Amino acid sequence: MLDVQHISKTFFANTINEKRAIVDCSLHLDEGDFVTVIGSNGAGKSTLLNSIAGRFPVDTGDILIDGKSVKRMPEYRRAGLVGRVFQDPMAGTAPELTIEQNLALALQRGKRRGLGIGVTATRRRRFREELATLELGLEDRLTARVGLLSGGQRQALSLLMAGFTHPSILLLDEHTAALDPARAAHVTALTERIVDAEKLTTLMVTHNMEQAISLGNRLIMMHEGRIIYEVSGDEKAQTTVDDLLARFASVKDAVIDDRAMLA
């Protein structure tokens, strides 16, 4: 369960480069909600995810995960609660370590002590089973270095690792955008399967509006640091890409009108 309460984040405050990335943003996700996030470039989507993950402190407001404020919890501690997959396939895994060592590290997330990258026979068996579900043959390459894998294989592995410890919230930041269409489709299908099987509460940023409509049970649209539209359930399922484009256009027109009135 996630509760984002009136958060704001301004970069380079009080300088000529000041950028209000998030403006009084609130969002509640019930357990099992799968919310897709769309918005134009610079709308604040990644900043919202980074705020939840603890990449930087927010200026105002609070963030609750499972009912507890994480505002003062550093990013490495939040990692036990928050799973992440980034756009860059290189970002979620350690290239110099083997597949099984990466998986062992994922099990370790958010814990103070443990086996580290140590791999026991029991763990190895579990890793093989989990990797087989990716249908990429990685279960036979446990000791291969992750740096040797393709982008699609690394994203699939990152996804598996992110879901491994059943995080309270899974954050997906355009995680299929850097892949070719076939690999993107495979990772999208895996996403649906893992989220559904583990009943993961998920927030997924995408620029692909068809994907935003077809995946998940809710969709939010951001603009200039605010959530400006939300649709869920049957209404979401019946939404078309044209509907969303019309929303974008009307918001931009409204902003331009506001500015014109202020001029």
Ligand X SMILES: Nc1ncnc2c1ncn2[C@@H]1O[C@H](COP(=O)(O)OP(=O)(O)OP(=O)(O)O)[C@@H](O)[C@H]1O
Using CA atoms of 6, 48, 157, 149 in order, give the dihedral in degrees to the nearest 10: -170
By CB under 6 A, residue 43 contacts ligand X = yes
221 touches 232 (CB < 8 A):
no
Rounded to the nearest whole angstrom, what is the least distance from the CB of residue 45 to ligand X in the complex?
Answer: 4
Q: Which of 36, 47, 168, 201 binds ligand X (CB under 6 A)?
A: 47
By CB under 6 A, residue 145 contacts ligand X = no
Q: What are the strands of the beta sheet with 169-173, ordered from one edge?
A: 82-85, 169-173, 202-205, 34-39, 218-223, 226-232
Q: Which is nearer to ligand X, 44 or 54 (CB)?
A: 44
Q: Indicate the residue type of 213.
A: I
By CB under 6 A, residue 45 contacts ligand X = yes
By CB under 6 A, residue 228 contacts ligand X = no
What contacts 90, CB < 8 A, 6 or more positions away? 154
Query: Which residues 195-224 are close enough to bind ligand X by CB under 6 A?
Result: none
By CB under 6 A, residue 41 contacts ligand X = yes
Rounded to the nearest whole angstrom, what is the least distance from the CB of residue 178 to ligand X in the complex?
Answer: 12
In three-state secondary structure terms, 184 is: helix
By CB under 6 A, residue 194 contacts ligand X = no
Q: Which of 1, 5, 8, 11 binds ligand X (CB under 6 A)?
A: 11
From residue 164, how far is each of 74, 84, 181 by CA, in Å? 21, 11, 26
Rounded to the nearest whole angstrom, what is the least distance from the CB of residue 98 to ligand X in the complex?
Answer: 32
By CB under 6 A, residue 63 contacts ligand X = no
Give the strand pairing for 218-223 and 34-39. Answer: parallel
* Angle at 21 (CA atoms; ends 15, 26), nearest 5 degrees: 135
Rounded to the nearest whole angstrom, what is the least distance from the CB of residue 13 to ligand X in the complex?
Answer: 11
Considering only the stretches 42-50, 58-66, 133-141, 255-263, report the one whose residues sit in contact with ligand X under the rule CB under 6 A: 42-50
In the complex, the residues that contact ligand X under the rule CB under 6 A are: 11, 19, 21, 39, 41-47
